[in-house]
């Protein structure tokens, strides 16, 4: 059984122009066998969703480094659901909030907003690739359960 190459939409949300890390991540994801649709910097939430619909993407990976991730990502899962992307994986990473906050608290805020994963600054690319493999396997298992 052949498996379809997974499509990932990446970009930097909102008014953020910090693109270098996102480019490095995109290149590593391509090297790991994913098809990457890189939207670049200054990307509105709606553009991520539109690109995901147009490319039949399997995941959206949002980057935010200027500390306004909470504001920029509010309602993101709802936009996906409205567009028929109920089961799309949503990842978010970077310096997501202004000020010093314990990471578990920050992470929980974004999980509560509907993101599947939130990655703090300094998260290794290998970790993200492992998360994707695990999350896609779990999603595929839910969609195509093995019958005994």
The residues annotated with a catalytic role in the active site are 16, 18
Q: For residue 36, how many C-alpha atoms fall within 13 Å in the half-sphere facing its CB?
A: 20
Least confident of 1-5, 45-49, 123-127: 1-5
Residue 26: the pLDDT is 94
Show me where the domains of the chain are located.
7-143
Per-chain mean pLDDT for the chain: 93
Residue pLDDT, tens place only, 74-91? 999 999 999 999 999 999
CATH topology of domain 7-143: Rossmann fold (3.40.50)
pLDDT tens sequence across 91-122: 999 999 999 999 999 999 999 999 999 999 99
């Amino acid at each position: 059984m052949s498996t379809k190459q997974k499509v990932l939409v990446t970009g930097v949300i909102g008014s953020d122009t910090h693109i270098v890390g996102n480019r490095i991540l995109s290149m590593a994801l391509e090297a790991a066998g994913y098809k990457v649709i890189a939207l670049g910097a200054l990307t509105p939430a709606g553009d991520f969703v539109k690109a995901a619909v147009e490319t039949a993407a399997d995941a959206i990976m949002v980057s935010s480094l200027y500390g306004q991730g909470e504001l920029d990502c509010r309602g993101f899962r709802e936009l996906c659901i409205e567009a028929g992307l109920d089961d799309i994986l949503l990842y978010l990473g970077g310096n997501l909030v202004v000020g010093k906050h314990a990471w578990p608290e920050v992470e929980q805020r974004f999980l509560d907003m509907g993101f599947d994963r939130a990655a703090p600054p300094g998260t290794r690319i290998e970790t993200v690739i492992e998360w994707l493999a695990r999350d896609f396997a779990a999603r595929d298992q839910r969609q195509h359960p093995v019958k005994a």
